Amino acid sequence: MVNRTMAKKLLILVLLASPTAVFAEPMIPWPWLETSRYYAWKQERDDVRADWYARRALDPVGSRQRYVKGKIWPPYPRPEGLSMIPSHRFHTAHYWPHPYVCQDRASVREFVSTQEDAGWVNQTTLYEYHFDKGTQLLNRSGTLHLKWILRAAPAKRRILYVQTADASQATELRMTSVRGITEELVGLENLPPVIPRVTAPIGRSALEIDGIQRSDMSSQPVPRISPALSSGGGGGVTP
């Protein structure tokens, strides 16, 4: 008798949950079906919950600054507002210092990249001592430096910078000389950019340094201090 009653109840539930010609959907829809009202409500609830967790994920880490009894606790700057929820607090402690260390690493890479770019600009610049003072043509030192740029520098760094002269005509002569020699070395189709640059030399030519040293040696007053002579033995100083 009990089995028959249970069978009748199950049959009624099956009939109510099955689609009919009258109803577009079953009278008692299964909750896991996409057509059920419960499924739509659950999807909307999950979307709202995910949006809430995403907004709370932006909360800063650490303790909060509060105003209690006329004082700011702690007295130094701290975040304000709601504390992090426990799940986000565990996530931060588990993966610390990520992602906050990524900002520090990016800033360091940016500084290094800026210094690297400036260094390559200096290395690929043809300064005034690379040109003849009278004709503004590349001298031997400038030609060797130009060959190094075209052959040894990375492809993305092969940009020829030319220090500007006091007169625009002299600057144009320098750039024309650089373009002409570069075209002979690599061809017109592989000609890199030639850009004028307002700068000052970061060094001196070898001839200028040699002249300064020779002038210094010849102008030393008498008596000149000669370098100490090294002896082969370990004897003391002779009186």
| Mean pLDDT, rounded, of the chain | 85
- CA atoms of 74 and 201, how far apart (whole Å): 53
Structural domain contains residue 142: yes
pLDDT at 17: 55
Name 71's bridge partners. Answer: 68
**Domain residue limits at 94:** 81-116
Structural domain contains residue 44: no
- CA atoms of 180 and 1, how far apart (whole Å): 110
Whole-prediction pTM value?
Answer: 0.57
Q: What tokens appear for 208 in the block?
A: 């200028």
Structural domain contains residue 232: no
Higher pLDDT, 234 or 193: 193
Q: In the block, which residue shows the tokens 């070898």? A: 206
pLDDT at 27: 52
- CA atoms of 200 and 77, how far apart (whole Å): 45
Based on the fold, state whether residues 143 and 192 are members of the same structural domain. yes
Structural domain contains residue 214: no
Based on the fold, state whether residues 187 and 131 are members of the same structural domain. yes
Indicate the DSSP class of residue 68: E
Based on the fold, state whether residues 93 and 157 are members of the same structural domain. no
Indicate the DSSP class of residue 131: B
Q: Which of 29-33, 161-165, 224-228 has the lowest mean pLDDT?
A: 29-33
Give every strand in the sheet of 194-197, ordered side by side: 125-126, 160-163, 194-197
Residues 22-32, mean pLDDT to the nearest whole number: 53
Residues 211-226, mean pLDDT to the nearest whole number: 80
Q: Which helix (H) or strand (E) is 197 found in, with range?
A: strand 194-197
How much of the chain exceeds pLDDT 70, in percent? Answer: 82
Query: How far apart, in Å, are the Cα atoms of 11 and each of 4, 14, 61, 217?
Result: 10, 5, 58, 117
Based on the fold, state whether residues 173 and 148 are members of the same structural domain. yes
CA dihedral 181, 182, 183, 188 (to 10 degrees): -160
Determine contact, residues 164/196, Cβ cutoff 8 Å. yes
Number of domains the chain contains: 3
Based on the fold, state whether residues 190 and 161 are members of the same structural domain. yes
Determine contact, residues 141/175, Cβ cutoff 8 Å. no
Based on the fold, state whether residues 155 and 102 are members of the same structural domain. no
Q: In the block, which residue shows the tokens 């992090």? A: 84
Q: Which of 10-14, 61-65, 97-101, 188-192 has the lowest mean pLDDT?
A: 10-14
Whether the predicted pLDDT of 204 surpasses 80: no
Phi, psi of 71 (to 5 degrees): -130, 155
Determine contact, residues 57/88, Cβ cutoff 8 Å. yes
